[in-house]
A = this chain, B = another copy of it.
């Protein structure tokens, strides 16, 4: 059964790989599953057909025949559960991989989303410059804690897992802010994730859709 995911018809990041379809592509590449992509325009994301798949008007979604999922964490979970390569077989280590998936998406990412809101949605507000350091410090607090836990380890809990896949993906969103470079072990951790062949294939595939095209003229 063909796996179909949705992605932005044209990602707002112009191919930096920060749209969430890259996370799902990466998971599919790690386990060696082929997939097809259905690009969705911003207009189509608000229409009934897409809302039936994703009530929060976002990408990615995942379809396999009549079975459909939204929510990146749940899609990565579904792939990891059915195919070897995204977490250990041993049940306690697997529970910790799932713990890091939730930690990435519900503890580390929220302050990063708040920073994105501050720099994108509130850039022109009169309070923008004065407020930014507060929001950056909330991100730094989380990064400091994560850096302390990771220490000199390569991955968060022994071998690479879906928890690392999501944590690296979340941290990648910080690169342009400069905050990631304040924590050398986290910057190296993200670079280790990006160096994985599966990530490279996922990145290249999204870039093929999103890279700025040379003008025809």
Contact = CB atoms under 8 A, between A and B. Distances in A.
A134 interface: yes
A70 interface: yes
B127 A131 contact: yes
A67 B58 CA distance: 36
Given A99-B69, A127-B125, A109 B110 contact: yes
27 contacts: A55-B149, A56-B145, A57-B145, A69-B96, A70-B103, A71-B99, A71-B106, A71-B107, A73-B102, A73-B106, A74-B99, A74-B102, A74-B103, A77-B102, A78-B95, A78-B98, A106-B106, A106-B109, A109-B110, A110-B113, A110-B114, A113-B114, A121-B134, A122-B131, A122-B134, A126-B127, A126-B130
Interface of A: 51, 55-58, 67, 69-74, 77-78, 92, 95-96, 98-103, 105-107, 109-110, 113-114, 117, 121-122, 125-127, 130-131, 134, 138, 142, 145-146, 148-149
Contacts of A77: 95, 98, 102
Contact of A71 (B67, B102, B117, B146): B102
Contacts of A72: 102, 106
A contact patch SS: helix
Contacts of A73: 102, 106
A74 B156 CA distance: 15
A181 to B, nearest CB: 21
A200 B101 CA distance: 29
A103 B145 contact: no
Q: Which of A58, A72, A78 has the most CB of B within 10 A?
A: A78
A51 B72 CA distance: 28
Nearest to A103: B71
Contacts of A126: 127, 130
A56 to B, nearest CB: 5
A113 B110 CA distance: 8
Nearest to A156: B55
Contacts of A78: 95, 98
